[in-house]
Amino acid sequence: MRILHLTSDWKWTGPAEPMLRLGVGQRAKGHDVALACPEPPAPGSRSVAEEARALGLAPMLEVSNGRGVGVFSDRADIEALSGSLRDRSIDVVHTWHTRDHVIAVRAAARLGRDRPAVVRSYRSAERISRAPWSRWLFGARTDGLLCVSPETARWNAGLRGGRPIRGAFGAVDLDRFRPDAPAADARVRSETRAALGLRGEDAVVGIVARAQPHRRFDLLIDAAARLLARRPEARLLVVGRGTRREALAERPARELGIADRVIFAGYRNTDYAAVLHAMDLFTFLVPGSDGTCRALLEAAASGIPAVVTRRGALPEIVVDGETGVLVDEQPDALAEAWDAVLGDADRRRRMGAAARARATRCFGAACFADAVEALYVDALDAAHRRRA
């Protein structure tokens, strides 16, 4: 199968890694996989193109960067994409954002009956709007729709009118994130903790999330204050950037008198896996731009149990009582769950092992590629029947 992944965002954001992991998994299955994306505006910027080259998926077509749909301004990209789809005899063009979705629909339409199937990954864990624009784009114009989990696919099935739709969990690097990885070595863990200002005896609850109002930092900090009142040796480790961090998290922590026990580690790159392994327990409250909750999948692959809310796909990623704990969005409920898991080392080990086993089964590139391949087959069959 000849597959083209198309994104019109150059940045290395949440949805970008699942796209490249999928491409790697598809190549391993013997498919011909290509990528079209923008180049970064400045050399050295961490970008989709840079990461793709490192994985052996050098972009074969450069498209312009942008998010808004332009009826006239997108013509050059549509023309270039249409030519590439024709010249390379692409079977499936897989899009990841609204702008590249529309560009692919318009480029494919130029090829008439010989056009490829257009597949869209909808990366939000929310229901797609039923507005006329959404019904037009996500209905008959799209041959296959990929959602972030089986349940979110069921939420959006009505929009498809019987057309192919599938839910699949995201994919992470199971080798980099594993319980016995170099980043998990006892010496590395001790050094990483020390560099973060953590002691060996600290009981660390960690979260990876951009500081944004909808990510419920109010709940996070309130729950942390309740946990720290019960368990003085506990610490909250917050990983991620965000221009609102001072207002959403740092100031509330100071006001509650817990600022000395909340560590803001910022954005991490080369030592990210080691920082994950510095945690005893992972927590996740609200999905961000990537509804697959990649950081949660990475924690599971690392063998770290999780306490999460019931937002989006979280109840499908975490098996309650087995790989972690599901809680209501209440500070006391969250603090109690953290406290219970931190206080039982054997339970943490069992949950961590179960989380790793589930990640191996469900969150790897091969599993993701299998699920998406099934969607492609359905989408191509539907497209062929339509042309007949």
Instruction: Quickly count: other Cβ atoms within 10 Å of residue 18's Cβ.
Output: 25
pTM of the model: 0.91
pLDDT of residue 219: 97
CATH superfamily of 2-171+365-387: Glycogen Phosphorylase B; (3.40.50.2000)
d(CA 223, CA 42) in angstroms, rounded, equals: 41
- Tens of pLDDT along 234-279? 999 999 988 899 999 999 999 999 999 999 999 998 999 999 999 9
pLDDT of residue 145: 97
Contact indicator for 308, 285 with CB cutoff of 8 Å: yes
Average pLDDT over residues 25-51: 91
What's the whole-number average pLDDT of the chain? 93
Residue 98, pLDDT > 60, answer yes
- Tens of pLDDT along 130-163? 999 899 999 988 999 999 999 999 999 999 999 9
Contact indicator for 139, 161 with CB cutoff of 8 Å: yes
pLDDT of residue 373: 96
Q: What is the DSSP letter of 68?
A: S
Where do the domains of the chain lie? 2-171+365-387, 182-362
d(CA 293, CA 251) in angstroms, rounded, equals: 26
pLDDT of residue 80: 94
- Give the list of residues 6+ apart from residue 377 with CB closer than 8 angstroms, or none: none
pLDDT of residue 18: 86
Three-class DSSP category at 51: helix
pLDDT of residue 42: 82
2-171+365-387 and 182-362 agree in CATH topology: yes
Secondary-structure class of domain 182-362 per CATH = alpha beta
pLDDT of residue 70: 66
Q: 317 vs 71, which has greater pLDDT?
A: 317
